[in-house]
Amino acid sequence: MKKLVQDIITKLSIPSITFADVRFTTTDDESIYFEKGNLRYKDASLDSKSLGIRVLINGCWGFAGTTDLSKKSIDYTMLKAISNAKHGSLFKREKVAFKAIDPTIASYMYTPKENPFIMDSDEKIAYFANIAAKLTKNEKIVYSNVSASFYRQYKIYANTEGTFTDSLVYDVLPSMMVMASDGRQNYSRKWPGDMNARRGGFEKVRAFEFEKNTDRIIKEAIDLLSAPSIEEERADLIIGASHLALQLHESVGHATEADRIFGMEISYAGKTFVKPTMLGNFQYGSELVNIYSDSTLENGLGFHLVDDEGVPARRADIVKNGILQDQQTSREIAQMLGLKPSSNMLATHADEIPLVRMTNFCLGAGKGSLCELIKNTEKGYFVDFTKTWSIDDNRYNFQFTTEIGWKIKDGEIVGIVKEPTYFGITPEFWNSCDAICGEEEWDLHGTFHCGKGEPGQVKHLSHGVAPARFRNVVVNVKA
């Protein structure tokens, strides 16, 4: 396939084409799903190949993709990409332009400790069957499920600047959930939460210690049936890392994808309140808040050698000491904003057009452990494990509900509360952050399910976070 990609690039290296790139991917997916203790399905899609060709002609992009790798189909795909660019350029008011980048020639092959695609199938099923059975042993648990998704993708990328890379990665997404009922109300508990994807193989599944945590989530789900709700109008919140990853994702990650500034991404997932004039001066958060995009982190789902237009992986400081400094950009948008490209232009598969996407989007660590932070909180709540959420099209007004919260009084946990909900405005919320836990609590939390674009693409990415405290947050709509 490397020769095929190089041959296409050679054909596209002609004076009439300003820039061209070619991507090839082959993707393997496998899913296992248990419901109420029973195996409902085991599904696999292996060796799904695709090819994408993108060209820049007369200041306009043209793209075409295919899953048919016959010579006839590839020739047609090349002609289609060229035709799309030429016809599009007739209607293009502002021509696309960007600076050339020195070529990257590199290879990266991730090796998991336990390759899920060569493991014995019966062994995998037995592992999850054991957990699924344990979740059904209490009569108050009326529903349960256990699932796992395994992913592997090999990619080749090349462009007319001379960049040529190939890479192989493995990702996993395991989860379990129970629902308790007393006949009048139902409450659920998940483990390990919503941001539970990791770079690696079956060893990452084992690291979550599912069997050890079955009794915990069963007890917590049942305890929620009789737990009180938060009564205050405002409260100090310590937000656990699993849920804070989603808060970061929705209110900062999507808000700083710069294609939204220019209306390139509106209809599917909204725009953003961020304006170009805010760069370098807008107080997005408190001085403790440092947020960055870093595609060089190898243990994150967003790691890559180059993005899908040849920009080498790098760290971009989006918010530094609370001030908005940078954006997640493509080469084209970076040029428009006077920024350095951030290496955030990506597609899920080769036959899909690249979009500005989060990679490893992180909140920098502070100091101290979670236990120390709780001890230093006179009154408030520790909340975690996402239940529901909502945010407006500008990524400005939001509400989040977690499955469970723990009430804090005089630095001690004194009980649980059900479905704690909080409300906020993005910059006010991040400016209320007065403590972030240290490196010992910081970890990368990932998802397989970040949606964007039309036609829609679902991307794998990670968020590096540690638990953090936010002061005087609205926790009741009466406030």
Domain ranges of the chain: 2-224, 234-474
Per-residue pLDDT tens for 409-443? 999 999 999 999 999 999 999 999 999 999 999 99
Give yes or no for residue 478 having a pLDDT over 70.
Answer: no
The residues, ordered by sequence, that sit 6+ positions from 111 with a Cβ below 8 Å of its Cβ are none
**Residue 150: what pLDDT?**
98
Q: What tokens appear for 339 in the block?
A: 């920024």
Amino acid identity of residue 313, one-letter, is A
Question: Phi/psi class of residue 270: alpha, beta or left (left: φ > 0; alpha: ψ in -120 to 50)?
Answer: left
Whether the model clears a pTM of 0.95, i.e. scores above it, the answer is yes
Give the pLDDT mean for 352-356. Answer: 97
**Domain 2-224 CATH (choose: 3.40.440.10, 3.30.2290.10, 3.40.50.720, 3.30.360.10):** 3.30.2290.10
Instruction: List b or e across 140-160, with b for residues whose CB sees 16 or more CB atoms inside 10 angstroms.
Output: ebbebbbbbbbbbbbbbbbbb
Are β-strands 360-363 and 457-465 bridged in parallel, bridged antiparallel, or unpaired?
parallel
> Could you give phi then psi for residue 48, rounded to 5 degrees?
-85, 105
- The pLDDT of residue 432: 98
Q: Residue 204 above 70 pLDDT?
A: yes
In Å, the largest CA–CA distance within the chain is 72
Rounded Cα–Cα distance for residues 127 and 139 (Å): 23
**92-101, 127-136, 244-253: segment of lowest average pLDDT:** 92-101
Of 89, 66, 64, 70, the residue nearest 12 (C-alpha): 64
Q: What is the DSSP string of 355-389?
A: EE--SEEEEPP-SS-HHHHHHT-SEEEEEEEEEEE
Which 8-state DSSP code applies to residue 233? S
Give residue-wise pLDDT tens across range 31-52: 999 999 999 999 999 999 999 9
- For the record, the structure tokens of 140 come out as 């108050």
Cα–Cα distance between 13 and 102 in angstroms, integer?
A: 16
What tens digit of pLDDT does each residue of 295-340 get?
Answer: 999 999 999 999 999 999 999 999 999 999 999 999 999 999 999 9
Could you tell me the two tokens for 372?
Answer: 């120390």
Q: Which of 392, 412, 351, 377 is nearest to 54 (CA)?
A: 351
> What is the average pLDDT across 396-413?
98
